[in-house]
């Protein structure tokens, strides 16, 4: 019995050491990625001051795809914002994926669209298309596809089939692109023809006032839950994605703001309709496809391309969103598990893929297991309580300060002014985010491992709110 107790004590010591090393490793990563991210943002800002805008003769033709399911409240404003883009050579394609509300009707009525009989080249398999509507009465052509429900990936594949441009961009139907976003996300392609995909920044639009595609007034949302997500989003997009971009290692391009080369995407097989993380799966697929076929390629992150998207306003909706994200992460990483420790993929394997495995996919289990061993160690008198409390406090303050710094860096680079009240609110919430929101997300991630193969094609529904969007051009 004594030997068993001694063994248990030895094991707990090893686990506690692992947990401390794990937290130190994550904190070090956050620090390096935040510093590098901030420096790159300031570098990009200075570069933009010296560079000229895209010449009218050098626009990259882009098909903007808007998959929608029961989005009657927001889809018109989304299309209006796309018409306000500072860009000329593009088309807008909205794909109504079996909506049961008036998503199609509000679009047809508002933009006075007419049903057309246009053949669609079925390069990617999708659920049957019912009707196609179109209008050429605006700045660019607007097309609406109505089809049987097949999920977001299936809707995007239908949009690719309908698209006429060599590049396509996906944007969610509850999102709004800033006026210069399409120009910014397309600019790298003019400089480097090897680019097969570009990703932009997702920022939270709750409580935002946007006029003619530009932010008219910015302040932190009123709700504490949404405000914490603002800090979380800025840290996530500023940190890891800029860092991974330095070695062509980005594995995620958000489905709300991603630009892809059409011929390579088609050759790779398009979006996978059997996963809920279609954006993550497509980017990994492009990495694997280009590596296998010895194609010199690049996947870029463009921090100047900003998409404003709605964040969940309730804990229930937040849990559903993060559960879906983690399901997509799990499915994508399992499907391409051969990337792990595979020298053929270089730093993508040994840095990017390993990071998402340890610090994203397995984080819930590692952290909960670590907390459990701390409790057991306490009762076995193996825990230096004072040291552990001090260590956790330093970790919380460290993470909170980094979140605050990345948030303020982003606002400074974008020349957005924040009121003193919002600054004080952000200082309070940066600590609350790492101590409260983090564990809400952990619970959602854990729940995603149970029954993750079910309901792949069901769109997660969250309560929508109307963003205050104004246009001086469109009614």
List, for residues 23-79, the tens digit of each pLDDT value.
778 778 777 777 777 677 666 666 665 555 544 556 899 999 999 999 998 899 899
Domain identity same for 257 and 308: yes
- DSSP summary character for residue 414: T
Domain identity same for 383 and 333: no
Buried b or exposed e, range 199-229, using 16+ CB within 10 angstroms: bbbbbbbbbbebebbebeebbbbeebbbbbb
Hey, CA dihedral for 245, 249, 255, 259, is it positive or negative? positive
Domain identity same for 6 and 73: no
Q: What is the pTM of this model?
A: 0.89
What is residue 94's three-state secondary structure?
Answer: strand
Of 317, 76, 305, 321, the closest CA to residue 174 belongs to: 76
- As for how many domains the chain has, the answer is 2
Please report whether residue 45 resides in a domain: no
What is residue 404's three-state secondary structure?
Answer: helix
Q: Which of residues 354, 388, 422 is at a domain's end?
A: 354
Domain identity same for 259 and 287: yes
Please report whether residue 103 resides in a domain: yes
CA 328 to chain centre: 12
Domain identity same for 331 and 384: no
Token pair for residue 310? 């709605």
Domain identity same for 206 and 266: yes
pLDDT tens track, the chain, 475 positions = 667 667 767 777 777 778 778 877 877 877 777 777 767 766 666 666 555 554 455 689 999 999 999 999 889 989 998 999 999 899 999 999 999 999 999 999 999 999 998 888 889 999 999 999 999 999 999 999 999 999 999 999 999 999 999 999 999 888 889 999 999 999 999 889 999 999 998 989 887 777 777 777 788 888 899 999 998 888 777 667 888 998 999 999 988 899 999 999 999 999 999 888 899 999 999 999 999 999 999 999 998 899 998 899 999 999 999 999 999 999 999 999 999 999 999 999 999 999 999 988 998 888 888 788 878 878 877 777 887 788 788 878 888 888 888 888 777 767 777 888 898 999 999 989 988 998 899 999 998 888 655 555 555 555 555 555 566 555 5
Interval 205-239: pLDDT, tens: 887 777 777 777 788 888 899 999 998 888 777 66
Q: What is the CATH number of the domain that holds 283?
A: 3.90.550.10
Please report whether residue 202 resides in a domain: yes
Cβ–Cβ under 8 Å, residues 156 and 271: yes
152 vs 175: CA distance, rounded Å: 15
Output 447-450 pairs: Cβ under 8 A, ≥24 positions apart: 447/319, 447/323, 448/322, 448/323, 448/324, 448/325, 448/326, 448/327, 448/330, 449/326, 449/330
Domain identity same for 328 and 180: yes
Please, what is the Cα angle at 366 between 364 and 368, to 5 degrees? 65
* β pairing state of 62-68 and 90-97: parallel
114 vs 88: CA distance, rounded Å: 23
Q: Which of residues 333, 354, 375 is at a domain's end?
A: 354
Domain identity same for 286 and 410: no
Q: What is the 3-state secondary structure (H, E, C) of 343-374?
A: HHHCHHHHHHHHHHHHHHHCHHHHHHHHHHHH
Please report whether residue 244 resides in a domain: yes
Of 25, 363, 355, 409, the closest CA to residue 238 belongs to: 409
Hey, CA dihedral for 358, 360, 363, 365, is it positive or negative? negative
207: left (phi over 0), alpha (psi -120 to 50) or beta: left
Domain identity same for 128 and 253: yes
273 vs 173: CA distance, rounded Å: 18
Please report whether residue 160 resides in a domain: yes
Structural Rg of the chain based on CA atoms: 23
Domain identity same for 77 and 15: no
Q: Which of residues 337, 354, 371 is at a domain's end?
A: 354
Of 307, 291, 389, the closest CA to residue 347 belongs to: 291
Domain identity same for 115 and 240: yes
- DSSP summary character for residue 175: E
Token pair for residue 247? 């070695």
Half-sphere exposure for 140 (CA within 13 Å, toward CB): 22
The parent domain of residue 20 ranges over 2-29+361-447
| Number of residues in the chain | 475
Domain identity same for 337 and 373: no
List Cβ neighbours of 71 (8 Å cut-off, separation of 6 or more): 78, 99, 101, 103, 173, 174, 464
């Amino acid at each position: 019995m004594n030997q068993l107790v001694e063994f248990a004590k030895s094991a707990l010591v090893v686990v506690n050491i692992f947990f401390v090393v794990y937290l130190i490793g994550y904190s070090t990563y956050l620090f390096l990625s935040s510093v590098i991210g901030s420096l790159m943002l300031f570098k990009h800002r200075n570069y933009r001051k010296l560079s000229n805008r895209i010449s009218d003769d050098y626009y990259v033709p882009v098909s903007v795809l808007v998959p929608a399911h029961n989005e009657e409240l927001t889809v018109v404003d989304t299309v209006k914002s796309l018409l306000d883009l500072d860009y000329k050579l593009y088309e807008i394609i909205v794909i109504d994926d079996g909506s049961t509300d008036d998503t199609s009707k509000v679009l047809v009525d508002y933009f006075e669209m007419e049903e057309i009989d246009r053949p669609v080249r079925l390069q990617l398999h999708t659920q049957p298309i019912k009707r196609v509507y179109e209008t050429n009465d605006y700045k660019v052509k607007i097309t609406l596809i109505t089809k049987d429900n097949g999920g977001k990936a299936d809707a995007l594949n239908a949009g690719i089939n309908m698209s006429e441009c060599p590049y396509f961009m996906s944007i969610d139907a509850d999102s709004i692109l800033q006026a210069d976003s399409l120009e910014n996300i397309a600019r790298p392609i003019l400089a480097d023809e090897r680019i097969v995909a570009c990703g932009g920044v997702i920022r939270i639009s709750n409580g935002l006032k946007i006029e003619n595609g530009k932010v008219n007034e910015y302040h932190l949302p009123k709700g504490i839950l949404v405000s914490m997500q603002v800090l979380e989003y800025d840290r996530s997009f500023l940190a890891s994605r800029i860092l991974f971009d330095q070695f062509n290692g980005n594995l995620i391009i958000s489905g709300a703001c991603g630009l892809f080369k059409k011929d390579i995407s088609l050759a790779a097989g398009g979006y996978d309709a059997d996963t809920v993380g279609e954006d993550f799966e497509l980017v990994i697929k492009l990495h694997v496809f280009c590596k296998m076929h010895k194609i010199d390629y690049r996947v870029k992150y463009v921090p100047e391309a900003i998409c404003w998207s709605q964040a969940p306003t309730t804990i229930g909706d937040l849990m559903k969103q993060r559960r879906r994200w983690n399901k997509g992460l799990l499915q994508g990483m399992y499907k391409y598990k051969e990337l792990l420790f595979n020298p053929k993929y270089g730093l993508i394997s040994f840095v990017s893929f390993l990071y998402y495995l340890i610090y994203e996919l397995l984080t819930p289990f590692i952290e909960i297991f670590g907390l459990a061993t701390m409790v057991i160690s306490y009762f076995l008198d193996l825990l230096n309580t004072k040291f552990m409390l001090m260590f956790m406090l330093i970790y919380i303050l460290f993470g909170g300060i980094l979140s605050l710094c990345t948030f303020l860096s982003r606002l400074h680079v974008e020349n957005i002014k924040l009121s003193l009240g919002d600054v004080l609110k952000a200082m309070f919430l940066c600590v609350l985010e790492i101590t409260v929101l983090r564990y809400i997300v952990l619970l959602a991630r854990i729940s995603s491992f149970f029954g993750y193969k079910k309901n792949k094609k069901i769109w997660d529904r969250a309560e929508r709110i109307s963003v205050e969007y104004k246009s001086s051009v469109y009614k």
